[in-house]
Structure 1
Amino acid sequence: MGEFDLIARYFTRPVRSGGAVALGVGDDCALLAPRPGMHLAVSSDMLVEGRHFFADVDPRTLGHKALAVNLSDLAACGARPLAFTLALALPQADASWLQAFADGLFALADAHDCVLIGGDTTRGPLNLCITVFGEVPAGQALLRSGAQVGDDIWVSGTLGDARLALEALRGRIQLPASALARARQRLEQPTPRVQLGQRLRGIASSALDVSDGLLGDLGHILAASGAGAEIELAKTTELIAASALFTGPEAIFDMELMHQCTLAGGDDYELAFTAAPAQREAVQSAARQADVAVTRIGRITATPGLRLLDAQGQPQPAAYASFDHFA
């Protein structure tokens, strides 16, 4: 199978007329036509075998995740997905692998009406790079720089289960089979909170997606906003779906591991955002409409730095490092 046969067979689809894509796969460039009054939101993410996923990963779930991590960036900006490009390096053109990968990729793309408009293929170590394009009304994009002193800090969904799965798959801990299956789905098939991001426009003061760990990612909001934060540890322990494994007389993991997973785990692709206390009902309404739970975990402060507080409101010494490719 040649390169152009591969593209035609697995990654070329008709472009729906009347949408934002004026020209898709087939020319040297694709053409997008955002609506008047819209800004184009653009984000790229790369997934590398051995760094972002295991060599034996199900290609269908890999197709899903490759696009999901990019859609999560659009969600954090409050943008509606339009289209994406795919740059794909393959050690070989395996038909069954490609079909499964394309099935997972397009299942998520179709769910968000996001069109593949081009890219590149080459031979090499397995490497996936997607650039996604979205649109957001001018002046309404959610940014990292808008957090205000007194704002609540919120997190969508659950955190920590992806890291828990990673620890189990690396052989560092043992998980019951059912718990591993649930956690592994969170690692390999994250849910981008696209609807929530759009519904938070005009409500949230800042936002980002949690990809490298909650505390490290929140640090980007604090740096961009020139503020500090206080986080309630008791609230963060509620965020891991597998919390039952950490509590009770037969608990099989310690609290330190729970904190490591929820505070610095990474690969969650949930939204962390801030909003004024007066917006609490609006936040909850947006979450209900997007069919996702949200949890208020702390507040923005004038004092620089990020502090973890116990149930009595006392600062707790802790150092949790988020993921860094070059650390």
Structure 2
Amino acid sequence: MSASSSSGEFALIDRHFRRPSPLRHATVGIGDDCALLAPLPDEQLAISTDMLVAGRHFFEDVDPAALGHKALAVNLSDLAACGAQPLGATLAIALPAVDDAWLEAFASGLFALADAHGCELVGGDTTRGPLTLSLTVFGSVPPGSAHLRSGASAGDDIYASHAPLQGLGDARLALQLQQLARGDTPPAAAILQTLEPRMRHHLLHMTRVRLELPQPRIALGLALRGIASACADLSDGLTGDLGHIMQASGLGATLQALDGADGLLHACSPALRTLGNDVALQMALAGGDDYELVFTAPRDRRDAVAAAAARCGLCASRIGRMETEAGLRFVDLGGRQHSLAARAFDHFG
């Protein structure tokens, strides 16, 4: 983002995205053709880009402050999966028209999350077009410390992170409740329509924050350095994102619905489980937009995983194990084993 004009595009940048606070990680920020970002000494840059498109990734009437938060959160989630410390970000935004009130709210949501994680906006671009947001984030990680998808070993435990009283599938439930309210027919419509309107409203109130204001697990990603063997962020559904780890590591996996105090059901929230355990498990397996971490760790690191999650105020539910046998399997509540397709959401599928 360069800024030199008193009106139009550059004035928009000055009003909403240039900040007077001193730069922490960039030696040159907004205002030149390139920003100059200084990596931490003896560390590598971790870089990731995500795009959000109106009508595809979010409803166009979503609260702009929540959209600003989520646009950055989905990118920071990738840094969390890598175990990287955020440094900075660039924002490219296409707008159908300039709406200063909308932009002010959007920027407030974005900067609130950016400040919470020490991630400064150092550049980007603006243009006219259908509402589209594209952010690139930069992080820092010591050589050899990054969590990669390829690091899992047979016998490793599989974990999913979540906050207490929240869990996998909450965002999926919130999306389907919103779709139903808009007159659409989501996959769980038959079940959701049996609920009283007051109960649907209550469930949406309980889960909407998980869809619109996901919290990137940066602290957990850092705490798992030297503990996790592989990691991915849960953006496109558990089966697909775990599938990325399986493919990169050359392994298979078995997930379990319930195994004493462990199992996928423990990673489902009480709100989701009001729909029944089978529905909760289905949404946890196939839902997207969780932005939690799915990671693996050796069996002898169970205490270290629990301690790392506790320091971050989070839960790390043990949901399965990595295996030499190819493919993804799921053991249901009745102890029956099923084969699952380890496919993630595909925009062109």
Shorter-normalised TM-score: what interval? Answer: over 0.9
Aligned-pair CA distance for 1:184: 1.2
1:183 aligns with: 207
The question of 1:302 aligning with 2:311 is answered: no
Secondary structure of the structure 2 residue equivalent to 1:231: strand
Tell me the distance in 1 between the aligned counterparts of 2:314 and 2:108: 25
Q: TM-score, normalised by structure 2?
A: 0.88
Distance 1:177 1:273, change over 3 A: same
Q: Is the 8 A contact 1:89 1:121 kept in 2?
A: yes
Contact 2:169/2:272 (<8 A) preserved: no
- Match for residue 203 of structure 1? 227
Aligned to 1:240: 268
Aligned counterpart for 1:227 among listed residues 226, 232, 251: 251
Structure 2 residue corresponding to 1:163, chosen from 172, 178, 200:
172
Deviation, structure 1 residue 20 = 2.1
Deviations 1:177-216 (A, max 9, x none): 1210121110011010000000100000000000000011
On the 8 A contact 1:49/1:125 being kept in 2, the answer is: yes
How far did 1:222 drift?
0.4
State the number of aligned residues: 319
1:69-96 Cα deviation digits (max 9, x unpaired): 0000000000000000000000011011
What residue identity is the alignment partner of 2:234? V
Deviates further, 176-185 or 124-133: 176-185
2:216 to 192, 214, 217: 192
- Within a 5 Å distance, the mapping from 1:23-102 to structure 2 comes to 23-102=28-107
Q: Matched residue of 2:105: which SS?
A: helix
Letter in 1 for 2:227: I
Verify the 8 A CA contact 1:144 1:224 in the aligned structure 2: yes
Root-mean-square deviation (CA, aligned residues, Å) is: 1.5
Corresponding letter in the other structure for 2:322: I
1:256-280 deviation digits (Å, cap 9, x = unpaired): x323310010000000000001100
1:22 aligns with 2:27: yes
Aligned runs of 1:144-163 on 2, under 5 Å? 144-157=149-162, 158-163=167-172
Q: Could you say what secondary structure the match of 2:338 adopts? A: coil
The CA deviation string for residues 268-322 of structure 1, in whole angstroms up to 9 with x for no partner, is: 0000000001100100111011111110000010101111013565412555854
Indicate if the aligned counterparts of 2:45 and 2:139 stay in contact, CA closer than 8 A.
Answer: yes
Q: 1:2 aligns with which of 4, 8, 25?
A: 8
CA contact (8 A) 1:156 1:270 kept: yes
Query: CA separation in 1, counterparts of 2:39 and 2:294?
Result: 27
1:39 partner letter = Q
What is the DSSP-based 3-state SS (H/G/I as helix, E as strand, rest coil) of the residue aligned with 1:34?
coil
- What secondary structure sits across from 1:3 in the alignment? helix
Residue ranges of structure 1 left out of the alignment (5+ in a row): 248-253
Among 113, 119, 140, the alignment partner of 2:118 is 113
